[in-house]
Structure 1
Amino acid sequence: MAEQLGRTPRGVVGIAARCVCGRPLVARTAPRLPDGTPFPTTYYLTHPGAVAAASRLEAEGVMKEMTDRLAVDDELAAAYRAAHEHYLARRAELGRVEEIEGISAGGMPTRVKCLHVLVAHSLAAGPGVNPLGDEALAMVRDQWRPDRCSC
């Protein structure tokens, strides 16, 4: 993971998703880092190919389009709120940190701020939990796929 990130990982408590070759895709991180800093990003995308694919989507303006859809699609908004609640519940398994109570990551539950987090959540939780993470994964399928090693 340090090789993937180009630095020593902080607060990692496990690997939430792996490449088919066994290397990390997503780190699961403690809600408080060893130096005491609150850290809401429970699922952290580490695989360089996945990171690059999510970055391309962000550069293409996909986050704004997704956020706009949340404002007009009640079903999508409800599913995204459920993803937010799932994220909070999984983080609570690792401990509660008052400073970030109720705050998930990636802009959930009302906007899309970081596709890396949403993709990481989808990879860690599996399909059907985070609709916009799943959608982002489908959008990058021709560039990067979790079922095909590109390590």
Structure 2
Amino acid sequence: MTTPPFDPASERDIAIVSAQLGRPARNVIGIAARCVCGAPTVVSTAPRLADGTPFPTLYYLSHPAATAAMSFLEATQVMNEFNEMLGEDEELRAAYGRAHEAYLADRNSILVVPELENFSAGGMPVRVKCLHALAGHALAAGPGVNPIGDLALARSTWSPAVCECVVYPGIDE
């Protein structure tokens, strides 16, 4: 069994992710996507946390500018538009279903957690529930894997090609 591609997380990565989240990062198993400057953008989290809790979100969007952009889209009801598109577009619906299967395969390649069987993230495969999770998956997997994540990234004011990172005291000094 292979694992999805992600970089091992360094101590510096964990410190940055903790600063990005405003709390200690938990059970990080890798960095699935990075800013053009090299800072973490999407962290991969263990499917089962150290305390035994199942954790379905393998790809967790951590970059503050990216999370703000997804929050803005959610606040402006873009998820409703994407849900309507899913209802009307058979090809989009099929591609979204394949994104769900790809997500499950990635997570299961790390650890099969029976409690998470057929549960991916972001509402997949039938609805759009969390653009943060879907954008995180799109960034980790690359263009063309998660069509809703791709749409959210294209619609957002944030770009993975432009660094909007901050200097974190004690980390980047």
Report the structure number with the largest CA radius of gyration. 2
Unaligned ranges ≥5, structure 1: none
Query: Which residue identity is paired with 2:72?
Result: R
Return the offset for 1:81.
0.2
2:126 equivalent to 1:97: no
In structure 2, the residue matched to 1:54 is 70
In structure 1, how many angstroms separate the alpha carbons of the residues matched to 2:47 and 2:80? 27
C-alpha displacement at 1:119, in angstroms? 0.4
For 2:61, the equivalent position in structure 1 comes to: 45
How far off its partner does 1:111 sit? 0.1
Structure-2 separation of matches of 1:87 and 1:67: 19
Name the TM-score, length of structure 1 as normaliser: 0.97
For 1:117, the equivalent position in structure 2 comes to: 133
Instruction: Please list, as runs of the form range in 1=range in 2, the aligned pairs for 1:2-151 lying within 5 A after superposition.
Output: 2-140=18-156, 143-151=157-165
Q: Within 2, Cα distance between the matches of 1:138 and 1:68?
A: 18
Report how far residue 117 of structure 1 moved: 0.4
Which string of whole-angstrom CA distances, capped at 9 and with x for unpartnered residues, describes residues 56-112 of structure 1? 000000111111211121100000000000000000111000001110000000000
Aligned mates of 1:114, 1:35 — CA distance in 2: 25
Paired amino acid for 2:150: D
Give the whole-Å Cα distance in 1 for the aligned partners of 2:42 and 2:69.
Answer: 14
How far 1:10 moved relative to its partner? 1.0
Question: Which amino acid counterpart does residue 43 of structure 1 have in structure 2?
Answer: Y
Code of the aligned partner of 1:149: C
Task: Report the number of matched residues.
Answer: 149
Partner SS, residue 55 of structure 1: helix
- Work out the CA distance in 1 between the residues paired with 2:115 and 2:62: 25
**Match of 1:22, SS?**
coil
Q: Could you list the runs of 5+ residues in structure 2 that have no partner in the other structure?
A: 1-16, 166-173
Q: Deviations over 1:89-148 (max 9, x none)?
A: 0001110000011100000000000000000001000000000100111001xx211011
Whole-angstrom distance in 2 between the partners of 1:88 and 1:48: 26
Which secondary structure does the structure 1 equivalent of 2:83 belong to? helix
Secondary structure class of the residue paired with 2:110 = coil
